[in-house]
């Protein structure tokens, strides 16, 4: 795994559920790529997961990745919960289906393609990469709501 890529991700939702957006900023060797999108009816957690998935999917070959998120849900899921969900067949400790299992499974598939280090940052706290990802996520929301053209 040669190239090191930084991926800054964020999700946004206006209403929960409601129209939502996701954003990912990829940085490698000083080159930046912005990704964003949205869904008309979704949740903030689904958008946070989608941002991470889409950022990792964009990488065409295995990379060393620093993935920066402000989502405690994504951080806890990837670092604490997922190993047991997989052992239990994507069920919680209470034997209930894992929420957003479809996206957690996609994220797991993408993480396995790369060497990923996860970093949490406090959202809306002036972190440049996180602020850019937030802007992209909001662009995704605006496009879904028909308020901004691509």
Where do the structural domains in the chain lie, given as residue ranges? 3-146
Is 10 annotated in a binding site? The answer is yes
pLDDT means per 10 residues in the chain (150 residues)?
86 95 97 97 98 97 97 97 97 96 98 97 94 97 79
21, 144 Cβ separation under 8 angstroms: yes
- Quote the pLDDT of residue 148: 56
CA dihedral 81, 7, 23, 9 (to 10 degrees): 40
The verdict on whether residue 108 carries a ligand-binding annotation is no
Query: What is the model's pLDDT at position 150?
Result: 46
Burial-class residue 118 by CB neighbours within 10 Å (0-12, 13-18, 19+). middle
CATH architecture of 3-146: 2-Layer Sandwich (3.30)
The answer to whether the annotation marks 143 as part of a ligand binding site is: no
Give the pLDDT of residue 116.
97
**Active site residues per annotation:** 10-11, 48, 70, 124, 134
């Amino acid at each position: 795994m040669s190239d090191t890529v930084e991926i800054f991700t964020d999700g946004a939702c206006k209403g929960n559920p409601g129209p939502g957006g996701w954003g990912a900023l990829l940085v490698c060797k000083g080159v930046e790529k912005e990704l964003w999108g949205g869904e008309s009816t979704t949740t903030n957690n689904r958008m946070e997961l989608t941002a991470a998935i889409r950022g990792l999917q964009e990488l065409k070959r295995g990379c060393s990745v620093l993935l920066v998120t402000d989502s405690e849900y994504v951080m806890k899921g990837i670092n604490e919960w997922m190993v047991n969900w997989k052992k239990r067949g994507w069920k919680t400790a209470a034997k209930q289906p894992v929420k957003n299992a479809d996206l957690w499974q996609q994220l797991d598939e993408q993480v396995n393609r790369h060497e990923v280090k996860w970093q949490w940052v406090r959202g809306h706290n002036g972190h440049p990469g996180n602020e850019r990802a937030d802007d992209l996520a909001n662009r995704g929301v605006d496009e879904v709501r028909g308020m901004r053209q691509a």
